[in-house]
Amino acid sequence: MAVINSSYVGRFAPSPTGPLHFGSLIAAAGSYLDARANRGRWLLRIDDIDPPREQPGATDDIRRSLEQFGFEWDGPVLLQSTRSEAYRAALEQLRERGLMFYCTCSRKQIAEEGDKVYPGTCRERIEPPAGQEYALRLRVDAGETGLADLIQGAYAQDLRIEIGDFVLQRRDGLYSYHMACSVDDAFQGITHVVRGADLLDSTPRQIHLQQLLGLPIPHYAHLPVAAGPNGQKLSKQNLARALDAARREQLLWDALQFLGQQPPRDLLSVDLKSIWEWAAKNWSLNKVPKVSMQTYKN
């Protein structure tokens, strides 16, 4: 698949917390096909910023699984674990502008307030507390942050009311997903983020950070998430079945069907490369179901 449109850059950014599953395949295929259909670049980034949750060997397993399913990424794989200096520089930029504060609240203390929204307990703590562990939180003001999602439509949050001041660096020193994602999307020149709808409510936080840091804001498209017959999202936490390379043609066909692309059944009798060629030629975001979750029966 020739790459000629340098103005489109997409990406897939899995966490190495276990093997890829059918839900991962949906997200990877959706982002890959949107990039290829637009003759753009598609990058692979590994979200390895939370070592306690990672499984040994998972990064290699992810790469191997993607290769077995016929994915081809452009350029080297970016490991977010190598990007700490960039995250630190972004934090410093926010600190210099008085947009962050030091929070000593534990999760238990916040939960005892009886609300999922951070109550602002440490909002005025502008100096690091001596002898105490702390997280760094972004001071969020009132006002809506929204987007025009290419699948789910208009979506907005008043971050102050619905989320509160959110963490950028945890008490254990690890950087948050929102910080790393926002900085690295800009670093890699990502123009289109195509991912699962379970991350839709994260997007206003990332857009808010991009605005504060003067970073470009990508176009967003949030694909429906696959749920099992029990209604639970397919995930590593829910022990979703790992992708089986022996069934790759069937699973890819299933993913295309799940994404509303209406693949003909005779594709099941051709090789993997031919399925990808059909999919890239016929891909349309407009066909993707405009729902946040739907059942997959395998």
Q: What's the pLDDT tens digit per position in 173-201?
A: 999 999 999 999 999 999 999 999 999 99
pLDDT digits (tens, 9 = 90+) for 215-242: 999 999 999 999 877 777 776 665 578 9
Which H or E element spans position 177?
helix 177-187
pTM for this one? 0.94
Tokens at 79, concatenated: 């490991």
Q: Are 120 and 103 in contact (CB under 8 A)?
A: no
* pLDDT tier for residue 1 given thresholds of 50, 70 and 90: very low
Q: Which two tokens stand for residue 207?
A: 């857009």
pLDDT in tens, 228-280: 777 777 766 655 789 999 999 999 999 999 999 999 999 999 999 999 999 99
Confidence at residue 5, expressed as pLDDT on a 0 to 100 scale = 62
Residues in the chain: 298
Residue 110 — very low, low, confident or very high, per pLDDT cuts 50/70/90?
confident
DSSP state of 257: H
* Average model confidence (pLDDT) across the chain: 93
Q: Is the dihedral of CA 75, 32, 147, 224 positive or negative?
A: negative
Task: Report residue 111's pLDDT band, with 50, 70 and 90 as the boundaries.
Answer: confident
Q: What's at 56, amino acid-wise?
A: P
pLDDT in tens, 53-89: 999 999 999 999 999 999 999 999 999 999 999 999 9
Residue 207 — very low, low, confident or very high, per pLDDT cuts 50/70/90?
very high
Angle at 12 between CA 8 and CA 18, to 5 degrees: 175
Q: How would you write 85-121 as a 3-class SS string?
A: HHHHHHHHHHHHCCCEEEECCCHHHHHHCCCCCCCCC
Among 93, 110, 115, 90, which residue's Cα sits nearest to residue 176? 90
Q: Are 21 and 242 in contact (CB under 8 A)?
A: yes
Which DSSP string corresponds to 181-211? HHHHHHHTT--EEEEEGGGGGGHHHHHHHHH
Averaged pLDDT for residues 34-41:
97
Q: How confident is the model at residue 297 (pLDDT cuts 50, 70, 90)?
A: confident
- Cα-only R_g, the chain: 20
